[in-house]
Amino acid sequence: MNCYEKMIKESNKNTGTISYYDTTISISKFINYVDNFASSLIKLGFKKGDVLTIYLPTNPQSLIAFYACSKLGVIANLVHPLVPIESLKNNLKENNSKGLLFVDFLVKDTSLLKNTNQILIKTSLSDFMGTLKPFIKAFLLCKKIKIKNCLNFNSLLKKDNNINYSQEEVLDVDPVCRMHSSGTTGSPKIVELSNLSLNNLSDNLKKMYSKQIVPGKNALVLLPIFHAYGLGVAIHTCLCNQYNLVLVPKFNFKHVAKLFKKHKINFVAGIPVMFKKIITRKAFFGNHLKYLEDIWCGGDLITDTEVKEFDEIIKKYNGTARIMRGYGLTEVSGVCCVNRDGYYRNGSCGKSIPNTVIEIWDENNNKLKPNQIGEIVITNNSLMEQYLNDDKGFSIKDGNKWIKTGDIGKLDEDGFLYLIGRMKRSFKINAINVYPEEVEKIILHLDFVDEVCVVPYQQNNKTLLRAFITLKQKNIDIHKVKEEIINLCNQCLIKYSIPSDIKILDLMPRTNIGKIDFKLLSEIKQ
């Protein structure tokens, strides 16, 4: 069964909906769109094994295109829509892409894509927006660009009874999408996931909860479709568990805070910075929070203090949900470990989901005992198929394929996972392993610190640490701030882990998916 077939079989086709701004699409109508777009792709010459690049945010168009690709065996190459054109061109070539689906105002001149040999399909952000406030809709309509030599996405959603074809069978083991990851070694990789990987993830999560499915609950899709956590959990798993989807194309905490109230959200998955910003909006607060049942958080560091603050807000409005830390990566389809009711431990990333084994290995691939620190390795039934053009994605041990994550952690006696840091961020000072994330966790205990990122720098041929800090308040004595940080680090850390330099920033730089950009900070010389 491919992802399309599983979605058809398990989604709420009777009353289910997908909401996008002021538009509500029934699941049955959504399936019609998927079928019609798939037929149009065939008419355009797409066949099993071809690649369609989807250069879109999370919106109805990107979901329609993904499931149409799954139906046909076409591989959906999911690319962040803010990737520069030159990088996009390289991506199209590397993936041997046959077609490109894009937002019109991002590619205003198709001559920029000259010699890429793509079937070009354009769409607009104003499509599917319904009765959005007139001035906003008018603004977006004005941004619609008349582009030559392109097909219009909406025209490809119309049913064509003249298309006759014999579709090649699409198997569960066939690749369904490609995602772009930093890789477990820190270098960019293209991860290929199969229908089976995403379907198994959905089944594993369903088995983990073992709750009776109640159609009509609402899931807020904060995470992008081009992120495995977003596609695998927030979209595919939620559809297959009969949730209604509320799509968010771009995270705006003011807008998102209002969506919790408007849709009485039951499930949300996000990254720490999202939850930290949401609770600054008054619109987030209210009795609608009692409807929240599951809140998943992963992808970056969140402190116990931040978790407690969020949970207390939910409890104040008679809610029972609390933030559940988790852990995962693109190579395992987004998630492999999460806290949940009955299996919850402060500070941990929870226990492995069903059909998943997590171990800690030393540098010689030997399994370590509980509470020993080493590399996190994973085997399960939702592993990627491969890195594109790279056969070094797996380690084979005991007849199983294992993903070496490049992350440092430990398992306690009960199997709860604790993330210590990233191997690509760790380094040695005087032969001592230093983990910047451990330093960050200590500094975040200070009430006046909002965010922190610790990076190494060189001075007089020595490796030292620099801490970049943002503050919760602006009118604060900077000298005192630095003094308290150093005093706390002296109390809690070995001398090699104590920052030699502290810099105060107004805002942290971020990657395309919202994580603090430690690589950019590492490049700052002074």
SS3 track for 234-264: HHHHHHHCCCEEEECCCCCHHHHHHHHHHHC
Task: Read off the pLDDT band of 526 (50, 70, 90).
Answer: low
How much is the average pLDDT of 137-144?
50
| Phi, psi for residue 303 in degrees, rounded to 5 | -85, 160
Q: How far is the C-alpha of 206 from the C-alpha of 237, rounded, in Å?
A: 8
CATH number of 429-523: 3.30.300.30
Residues 6+ apart with CB under 8 A from 211: none
Q: Above pLDDT 70, what percent of the chain?
A: 93
Spatial contact of 74 and 54, defined as CB atoms under 8 Å apart:
no
**For range 344-373, the mean pLDDT:** 96
Q: Spell out the residues 6+ positions from residue 252 whose beta carbon is closer than 8 angstroms to its own.
A: none
Whether 280 contacts 259, CB under 8 Å: no
Share of the chain above pLDDT 90, in %: 69
pTM value is 0.86
492 contact partners, CB below 8 Å, separation of at least 6: 442
pLDDT at 392: 77
In this structure, the dihedral spanned by the alpha carbons of residues 407, 376, 302 and 455, taken in order and rounded to 10 degrees, is -20
Q: Which of 434-438, 451-455, 486-490 is predicted with the least confidence, judged by mean pLDDT? A: 434-438
- pLDDT, residue 131, reads 61
Q: What is the pLDDT of residue 146?
A: 55
Closest by Cα among 284, 233, 237, 226 to 256: 284
Distance of alpha carbon 98 from alpha carbon 86, whole angstroms: 17
Between CA 80 and CA 444, with CA 182 as vertex, the angle to 5 degrees is 95
The contacts of residue 402 (CB under 8 Å, 6+ apart) are: 359, 377, 378, 379, 394, 395, 396
Q: Please determine, for residue 206, whether its predicted confidence score (pLDDT) is greater than 70.
A: yes
Cα–Cα distance measured from residue 503 to residue 48, given in angstroms and rounded to the nearest whole number: 53
Strands 119-123 and 151-152: parallel
Which one is predicted more confidently, 153 or 139?
Answer: 153
Per-residue model confidence (pLDDT) at position 163:
66
**Cβ–Cβ < 8 Å for 375, 405:** yes
Interval 228-249: pLDDT, tens: 999 999 999 999 999 999 999 9
Is-contact 297 303, C-beta < 8 A? no
CA 51/CA 113 separation, integer angstroms: 16
pLDDT score for 119: 96
> What's the average model confidence in pLDDT over 140-144?
51
For residue 396, how many C-alpha atoms fall within 13 Å in the half-sphere facing its CB? 3
Average pLDDT, the chain: 90
Residue 135: what pLDDT? Answer: 43
What stretch of H or E contains 68? helix 60-72
219-232 tens-digit pLDDT: 999 999 999 999 99
Angle at 152 between CA 150 and CA 154, to 5 degrees: 170
List of residues 6+ apart from 292 with CB closer than 8 A: 260, 265, 266, 267, 268, 314, 319, 321
In the predicted structure, residue 191 carries a pLDDT above the cut 90? yes
Mean pLDDT of 403-425: 92
Which positions ≥6 away from 38 have C-beta within 8 Å?
68, 71, 72
Which are the contacts of 316, defined by CB distance < 8 A and separation ≥ 6? none
- pLDDT band for 317, please (50, 70, 90 cuts): very high
Q: Does residue 147 surpass a pLDDT of 80?
A: no
Predicted confidence (pLDDT) at residue 185 exceeds the cutoff of 60: no
Q: How many CA atoms lie within 13 A of 456 on its CB side?
A: 16
- Residue 268 to residue 57: CA distance in whole angstroms: 18
State residue 74's pLDDT score: 98
Fold of 1-130+171-178+190-195+208-221: Rossmann fold (3.40.50)
pLDDT given at position 182: 65
Burial of 306 (0-12, 13-18, 19+ CB in 10 A): middle
* Domain range annotation of the chain: 1-130+171-178+190-195+208-221, 350-422, 429-523
CA distance 180 to 184: 12
- 125 touches 133 (CB < 8 A): no
Coil, strand or helix: which one is 316?
A: helix
Q: Which amino acid is located at 189 in the chain?
A: K
Choice among 91-105, 148-162, 253-267, 407-421 with the minimum mean pLDDT: 148-162
- Identify the architecture of domain 350-422 in CATH: Roll (2.30)
pLDDT of residue 416: 98
- For residues 189 and 424, the answer to whether their CB atoms sit within 8 Å is no
Measured in Å, how far apart are the chain's first and last C-alpha atoms?
A: 55
User: Tokens representing 320?
Assistant: 């029972």
3-state DSSP assignment of residue 381 = coil
